[in-house]
Amino acid sequence: MQAGKDVALVTGSSSGIGFETAILLARSGFYTYASMRNLEKSRDIIQIKNNEKLPLQVVQLDVNDDMSVKEAIDKIESEQGKINVLVNNAGYVLLGPAEDLSIKEFKEQFETNFFGAIRVIQAVLPSMRKQREGIIVNISSSAGRIGLPINSAYVSSKFALEGLSESMAYEVEQFGIRVVLIEPGFIRTNLVNSSTSAKKRLNPKSPYFSLMQKVENQFRSRMEDISSSSPPIEVAKVVLQAVTSQNPQLRYIVGTTIIQARMKMSDREFGKMIMQSFSM
């Protein structure tokens, strides 16, 4: 796929990985639609677009809303005639142990992180099939391959996204469409600070309260540690590498991650390492 001739849509572009990816794709010649639920958060990306005269537009898109997704895709296809690149990045972290999370909280996590991606994918696939070309990039996580304490809902949603992507890759390859998973490790974003916590977890009487504090502190420490985390631009660079490759991989690991360690250990060994990491 050659930049300069293609149209990209990036969801969740108001900050972090989505922001950096949309900017980098536009700088690389892709006509890029940076989508976000709340357009009030678009000031920074619009300022960069105007200063650099980038081929970029901001579009309102709420991945949880069928009509919002349809209207955004219809707008892009009516203006550009196609969408070649879709980067599903919209998502959030819900912290809390499985016992303390309500079914409603679990469903809301999946609604954005998993079903939100499906909504956008289903909306762009008809035109990609018609043009017999396209690439769908789903931003997963190392947590899409590895379980972590106090991350039951988030990890589950990313495991689901991994399974969807791997299965769908077989289905759409016949139409010239490729599916890619990006699996970042610790990335220096505001993910922890902007995360949502289980309502029960806020109660210091929760039997998991102490563990929750330990895990939150550990995540925050690792994300702030330059030696063990990466800036979001590193993820954006890998996305660009994937979408411009003649033969992209299914999975790309980005930054410091424990996936490599997991592949070399037994379940028991890895579990012991995780317990020690979080002082459990």
- Which tokens is 12 given? 């969740």
Q: Which of 154, 170, 208, 252 is catalytic?
A: 154
Q: Are 28 and 1 in contact (CB under 8 A)?
A: no
Cα–Cα distance between 181 and 69 in angstroms, integer?
Answer: 21
Let me know how long the chain is: 280
Cα–Cα distance between 89 and 109 in angstroms, integer?
Answer: 14
Residue 26 phi/psi, 5° resolution? Answer: -65, -45
User: In 3D, which of 104, 188, 116, 211 has the Cα closest to residue 158?
Assistant: 116
Question: Which ranges in 55-146 belong to alpha helices (H)?
Answer: 66-80, 103-110, 116-131
To the query of whether residue 154 is one of the catalytic residues in this protein, the response is yes
Cα–Cα distance between 151 and 143 in angstroms, integer?
Answer: 9
- Which residues have CB under 8 Å from 29's CB, separation 6+? 3, 4, 55
Q: Residue type at 278?
A: F
Other Cβ atoms within 10 Å of 176 Cβ, number: 13
Distance of CA 7 to the CA centre of its chain: 19
Q: Could you list the active site residues?
A: 154
